[in-house]
Structure 1
Amino acid sequence: MILSNYLFFTTTCEQALAFYAECGLGCITEELRYGANGMPVPAEAMRGKIMHARFEGPGVLFYASDNDDAEPMRGSAHMLVIEDRDDAKRLFEHLAASGTITTPFGLQVWGDFFGKLTDRFGVQWMINVPTNAKTS
């Protein structure tokens, strides 16, 4: 059994997944589009938008799609545990670009380096580096 998140965007799934690829999280490994190869089109405005995508990278697996009736993302976050503090800080800064930092990346009272943000697409991310992790 594997628990994977499924992200619902209204119409920005393609841009979000391209952004996550630029951040170094991985790439799209499966993609279906509304209207392509006989796929249904729920509304003409959704034609060509992502109906279903699988996104994978080292230690990362999630799914995503565009849904014109999607609710804004809330109540959930992607938690990434990274062993290298410098790599974690770089990823945090990439994901935070044009987003909102809710907890600046830094040493926390429990001893780990941690930061939390909401990216420009409304997805919440938490980056954690365990106390015993290395620095590049």
Structure 2
Amino acid sequence: MAINNPYQTYQNNSITTASPGELTLLLYNGCLKFIHQAKKAIENKNIQEKNTNIQKAQNIIQELTVTLKMDVDIAKNMISLYDYINRRLIDANIKNNIAILDEVEVLVTEFRDTWKQVIQINRQQQFGSNGGQA
């Protein structure tokens, strides 16, 4: 009988029970994690690990792109920004350039932080001024 890893069980449960907004936040956080790992890999001259992590970040950006609701005006702007981020990730991968990854990291962090604020505002509107917290 296999012993379950409680942390892995918690992670799986947090993903399967997350709202669409929380899933988007998880995607942004994952993208930032892979960008950070890619920068470390460049510093350590580990080209394979750099490539793998940048591709994972690109996959997340592509997933964020396909989930945009194109009937909303801001989505048209976001698709252009996601395309820019994707192209910069390609450049960073080809050139082994940490500065490009820093640029992308700033953009993704801004998106993540803005998205986090949107979630908090929605919770406040839904549950009252205390954000649903006890």
* TM-score calculated relative to the size of structure 1: 0.27
* Structure with greater strand percent: 1
Q: Choose 1 or 2 for highest CA Rg.
A: 2
* Structure with greater helix percent: 2
